Amino acid sequence: MMDDKSKNTPSPANHAGYTSWLRELKEKIRSVQVKAALAASRELILFYWELGEDISQKLSETHWGSKIIDQLSKDLRSEFPDIQGFSRTNIYYIKKFYEYFITFSEQEQIIPPPGGQMGSVLTHQYGSQSYPPIIPQIGGQLPWSHIKILLDKVSDHQETLFYIRETIENGWSRDVLAFQIKSRLYQRQGKSVSNFQQTLPTPQSDLAQQTIKDPYIFDFLSMTKSYNERDIENQLISHITKFLLELGKGFAFIGRQYHLEVGESDYYLDLLFYHIKLKCYVVIELKNTKFIPEYAGKLNFYLSAVDSLLKAEDDKPTIGMLLCRDKNRIETEFALRDMNKPMGVSEFTLTEILPDELKGSLPTVEEIEEDMRQLSTE
C-alpha cells in the first residue's frame, strides 16, 4: 500500500532536474547506438550498470521517491519503443544490479581473462565511466536473465561468484542455473569425506575434492520400496542426462556393471566413468545402506584393479566414489585414513513413493484431524 509521503510526492516529470537527466539519458542511448549495442551482452551489462548507478544516485540525492522508476520506464519506452528492457520491473532489476555488485570487495572477483591480469578498475567506452572488475567480466559471458536469477535467489557474495564461475565454465542455461541454486550446489560442492589430500598430489587433490559433492540429490528418481542398488543403477542410467548433470561437468560414462577379471574371478563395477578434466577413471559404487568400513576396503580393491587393467600410462590414478544413504563422518574418516587409493564417500537422496497397496492403509487428513480433536478434549 502506498504511504502518505508517496501520495504527496510530486511526479518526477514536473522536476526540472528530472527533465534534464532524462535528456542526458536519451542522448547517451542514442550516442552508443543502443539498438545495436543491446544485442551484445557485454554492452547491455555495461549500459545497465550505468543506468543503475544513475537511478540509485538520483534516488539518494533527490526527493523524487520511487515514482521515478515508473516515470522513467514510461518515458524511455515512449522514446525507444523498439528497445526492450525499459519495463518498470526490469528497471527495478537494473537498480538492484548496481546496488548489489557495487558492494563487492576487491578480493571478490571472477578469474582473470586468459593471458592477462585484471586491474582494480576497468574503464569502458562510455565516457570516463569506470566499473568494478567483475562487471566487464560478467558482460559477454553471463546473460541478463542469469543475472536476474542471482539477484533474486542469492545474497552471499562468495556464493554468487561460485555460481557465476560455474555458469561460465559449464555453459549453464537459465533453467540449469536456477536448478543448481535450488539444489544448494554451493553448499554441497567439495563437502565429501575423502582421503584425496593423502593420496593425490597437489593440485590434483584439490580438483578432485571440488569435483565431488555431498549429498548427491537424485530427485529425478522415484523408487517404490523395496528396491536395491541394481534398481537404482537402472534408474540412473535411464536418466543418464540428469545423472550427468548432477555429477557435474567432465564425467564421461563408460558402463554399468563393468566387468573386470582378476586372477580367475569375475568382478563387476557398479558404474564406471572417465573424468576429462581430472584425466582419470572414476569408479562409483552405490550402497542403499549406511556406510560401513568394509565398503572402503572393497572399493580400494576395485581401484587397484582398474589401475592395473584399464589405466593408461598418461592417466592419473583412478578415483573411487562411494554413494551411501547415510554415513557417520568420524567413522568414515577413520575408514579412509589408511587406504592407499583415492576415494570419497558421499550420501545420496532420492524420492521414495509408497506402493499403491499401502496408500489405502494410511490415515487421511480428515482422520488425523479427528484424532487430534478427540485428544484435545480428553
| Grid cell locating 150 | 542471482
What CA–CA distance (Å, rounded) separates 295 from 287? Answer: 9
Measured CA distances, 286 to 11, 182, 236, 369 (Å): 64, 24, 11, 40
| Segment 355-367 mean pLDDT | 50
Determine the pLDDT at residue 371: 57
Pairing status of strand 280-290 against strand 319-326: parallel
Determine the pLDDT at residue 118: 40
- Pick the residue with more confidence: 224 or 19? 19
| Segment 248-271 mean pLDDT | 95
Q: Is 85 helix (H, G, I), strand (E, B) or coil?
A: coil
Determine the pLDDT at residue 121: 38
Determine the pLDDT at residue 33: 59
Q: What percent of the chain has pLDDT over 70?
A: 80
Determine the pLDDT at residue 10: 52
CA-closest candidate to residue 217, choices 194, 236, 195, 193:
236
What is the overall mean pLDDT for the chain?
84
What CA–CA distance (Å, rounded) separates 306 from 60? Answer: 64
Residue 351: pLDDT band with limits 50, 70, 90: confident
Give the tens place of pLDDT for each residue, 212-254.
999 999 988 877 767 888 899 999 999 999 999 999 989 999 9
Q: Is the pLDDT of residue 313 over 90?
A: yes
Residues near 210 by Cβ (< 8 Å), separated by ≥ 6?
A: 189, 190
Determine the pLDDT at residue 117: 42
What CA–CA distance (Å, rounded) separates 185 from 372? Answer: 39
CA-closest candidate to residue 341, choices 313, 306, 312:
306
pTM of the shown model: 0.77
| Segment 67-77 mean pLDDT | 89
Give the tens place of pLDDT for each residue, 314-347.
999 999 999 999 999 999 999 999 999 999 999 9
